[in-house]
């Protein structure tokens, strides 16, 4: 929904590009005036304004202008360091300014992104970023791009106002340009002021060693050159602010003593874990149908059957063949412990165990086992489920939904004209586009939704308890958001889109293969209809 009383975000972003183009003659005229009266003070101002131009032009579609400005900035920096002793600099400067004016007359790349829906459930206090950038248009563009990923931003155009804001309220992170109105290195004064631990990312059109070294010495956390790669910026922000949240560990306790099981469960829950208890081991497979733990804590000695037998029953079911099992027992004989492990368990904890030891032991093992399972199940590039893991998860979710009777939607989506991206910009840029879509899906979908990379530029999404119309609305919103994202290939900004197909399970005996085929058929219907759309396929 557009903000009340204001144009929608695509119109605002297009207006920014238009306003930038309209301001270029004035900006270049000011550069010409400064170049005609070269004094040390004017040279400093000229350097700062060329720096701003170099960082902003590519963002607004003027790739050649940005490249020419960057070359001039590098030359100005060398002349500044030499103290204006280069005799031929004046004539060279005018030649460079002529090149800037020529490049500014070229038509910018078309920029028509669709609407960006508001981030659902985002709290400004949780993801607040201060942007310190003296170019208003570039700052507005940066704020709009970060908003797609759910970041809330406040923009400042000078170091003084940013410093005042930091003293009133600390943000989650700080994005700061090196060169500000206060001086060519003024941005550095904002990095970790007064011992502050705010994660800080420097963005600059300066690629030189000295600038990067200055950022390191100022204890900046990252340095990104302009034009800004917003995918990389978002990834660094997530890493620095620890925003990427891992779900709590999930533990199944099989213990015939209700009191002991209850105690263990309470202790682990206080540590933030999700815990289910089971006193009757004969119900273990039934329980695993609806609860997928990171590990099982299993008592070795129980009256109905012993833990070794329970472990073997679990291992006989291929769905749970790699589920970590830890015996928890008073058994002290090492040979007995080893014999128990030979039946398929992964580790052994000895009773009695103190509460801190239990939390530590379970946390360490759950983290290790989860990490190992993720290495096997994850796609290396995106961190999403790989093809095999996604297919197995779909089988599990379909079985669960058929038991509960709720709907389940399966989505297949594919980046449009992806080969063209690789051919034009190279495979590393194509990889960044794939990662940008993966990150958008994981950040904007629910925690209960399951996302996988099915292969190449194709992704799959499992949406439990989601009817067809609701799935379509969510995916169409994400489709619009993805076309809004800006990608950078060798100084050229471009946008991508995706097509998607949806199949919904509402009952019956559809297999995972059938659901995937229905979703895939709908995906190719989207392709045939012109791409950049979402199509429903509700039945065989």
Could you read off the pLDDT of 271-303 as tens digits, one per residue?
889 999 998 999 999 999 888 899 999 888 777
Selected from 1.20.120.160, 1.20.120.1080, 3.40.50.970, 3.30.1650.10, the CATH number assigned to the domain covering 14-104 reads: 1.20.120.160
CB 230, CB 486: distance < 8 Å: yes
Distance, in Å, from the CA atom of 234 to the CA atom of 254, rounded to the nearest integer, reads: 42
| Topology match between the domains 128-241 and 250-377 | yes
Provide the CATH topology of domain 128-241: Rossmann fold (3.40.50)
- Secondary structure (DSSP) of 305-322: S-HHHHHHHHHHSGGGTT
The candidate with the shortest Cα–Cα distance to 414, out of 468, 467, 505, 479, is: 479
- Secondary structure (DSSP) of 354-419: -HHHHHHHHHHHHHHHHHHHHHHHB-TTT-SB-HHHHHHHHHHHHHHHHHHT--EEEEEEEETTHH
Q: What is the CA radius of gyration of the chain?
A: 29
Read off the tokens for 93: 């400067």
Whether the ω angle into residue 227 lies within 30 degrees of 0, i.e. cis, is yes
pTM of the model: 0.55
What is the separation of C-alpha 518 from the centre of its chain, rounded to a whole number of angstroms?
29
pLDDT in 10s for each residue of the chain, 540 residues: 333 444 444 465 567 678 888 889 998 998 988 888 777 777 888 887 887 787 667 767 788 998 898 888 888 877 777 765 545 577 788 888 989 999 988 888 775 443 333 333 334 446 789 999 988 888 888 898 888 888 889 999 988 888 888 888 878 888 999 888 887 777 777 776 555 678 889 998 888 888 888 888 888 889 998 888 888 888 888 888 865 556 789 999 998 877 778 888 888 888 889 999 998 999 999 999 888 899 999 888 777 788 888 988 998 887 787 788 898 876 666 776 677 677 777 788 877 777 888 888 888 888 888 877 777 778 888 889 998 889 888 988 888 887 777 889 999 999 999 999 999 989 989 999 999 999 899 888 988 899 999 888 999 999 998 999 999 999 999 999 999 888 887 778 899 999 999 999 876 667 888 899 999 999 999 999 999 999 998 655
The angle formed by the CA atoms of residues 30, 32 and 35, to the nearest 5 degrees, is 110
- Judged on CB neighbours under 10 Å (0-12, 13-18, 19+), 299 is buried
Provide the CATH topology of domain 387-537: Alpha-Beta Plaits (3.30.70)
Give residue limits of the domains in the chain: 14-104, 128-241, 250-377, 387-537
The angle formed by the CA atoms of residues 65, 207 and 162, to the nearest 5 degrees, is 90
List of residues 6+ apart from 119 with CB closer than 8 A: 147, 150, 444
Reported as a single tens digit per residue, the pLDDT across 393-423 is: 898 888 888 777 788 999 999 999 999 999 9
Selected from 3.30.365.10, 3.40.50.2300, 3.40.50.1100, 3.30.70.1560, the CATH number assigned to the domain covering 250-377 reads: 3.40.50.2300
First-residue to last-residue Cα distance in the chain: 35
């Amino acid at each position: 929904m557009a903000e009340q009383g204001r144009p929608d975000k695509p119109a605002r972003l297009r207006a920014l590009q238009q306003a930038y183009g309209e301001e270029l003659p004035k900006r270049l005229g000011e550069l010409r005036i400064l170049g005609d009266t070269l004094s040390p003070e004017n040279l400093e101002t000229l350097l700062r304004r060329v720096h701003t131009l170099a960082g902003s032009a590519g963002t607004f579609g003027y790739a050649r202008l940005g490249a020419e400005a960057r070359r001039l900035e590098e030359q100005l920096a060398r002349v500044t360091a030499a103290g204006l002793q280069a005799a031929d600099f004046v004539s060279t400067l005018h030649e460079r300014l002529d090149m800037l004016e020529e490049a500014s007359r070229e038509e910018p790349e078309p920029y028509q992104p669709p609407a960006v829906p508001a981030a659902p459930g985002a709290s400004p206090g949780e993801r607040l970023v201060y942007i310190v950038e003296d170019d208003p248009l570039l700052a507005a563009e940066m704020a709009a791009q970060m908003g797609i990923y759910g970041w809330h931003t406040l923009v400042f155009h000078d170091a003084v106002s940013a410093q005042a804001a930091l003293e009133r309220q600390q943000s989650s992170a700080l994005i700061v340009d090196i060169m500000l109105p206060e001086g060519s290195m003024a941005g550095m004064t904002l990095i970790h002021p007064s011992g502050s631990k705010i994660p800080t990312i420097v963005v600059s059109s300066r690629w030189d060693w000295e600038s990067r070294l200055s950022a390191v010495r100022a204890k900046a956390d990252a340095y990104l050159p302009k034009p800004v790669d917003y995918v990389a910026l978002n990834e660094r922000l997530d890493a620095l602010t620890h925003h990427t949240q891992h779900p709590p560990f999930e533990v199944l306790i099989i213990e015939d003593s209700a009191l002991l099981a209850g105690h263990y469960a309470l202790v682990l829950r206080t540590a933030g874990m999700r815990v289910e208890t089971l006193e009757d081991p004969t119900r273990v497979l039934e329980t695993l149908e609806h609860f997928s733990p990171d590990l099982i804590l299993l008592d070795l000695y129980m009256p109905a059957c012993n833990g070794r037998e329970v472990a073997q029953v679990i291992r006989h079911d291929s769905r749970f063949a790699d589920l970590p099992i830890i015996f928890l027992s008073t058994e002290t004989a090492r040979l007995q412990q080893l014999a128990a492990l030979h039946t398929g368990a992964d580790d052994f904890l000895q009773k009695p165990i103190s509460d801190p030891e239990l939390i530590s032991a379970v946390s360490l093992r759950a983290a290790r086992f989860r990490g190992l399972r993720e290495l096997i199940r994850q796609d290396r590039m995106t961190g999403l489920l790989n093809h095999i893991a996604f297919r197995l998860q779909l089988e599990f979710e379909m079985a669960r939904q058929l038991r509960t009777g709720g709907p389940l939607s399966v989505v297949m989506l594919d980046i449009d004209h992806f080969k063209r991206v690789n051919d034009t910009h190279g495979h590393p840029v194509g990889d960044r586009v794939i990662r940008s879509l993966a990150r958008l899906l994981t950040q904007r979908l629910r925690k209960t939704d399951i996302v996988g990379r099915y292969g190449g530029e194709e992704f799959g999404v499992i949406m439990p308890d989601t009817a067809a119309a609701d799935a379509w609305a969510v995916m169409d919103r994400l489709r619009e958001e993805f076309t809004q994202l800006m990608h950078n290939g060798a100084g050229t900004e471009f946008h991508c889109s995706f097509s998607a197909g949806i199949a919904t399970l509402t009952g019956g005996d559809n297999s995972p293969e059938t659901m995937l085929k229905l979703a895939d058929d709908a995906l190719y219907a989207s392709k045939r209809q012109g791409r950049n759309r979402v199509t429903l396929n509700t039945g065989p």
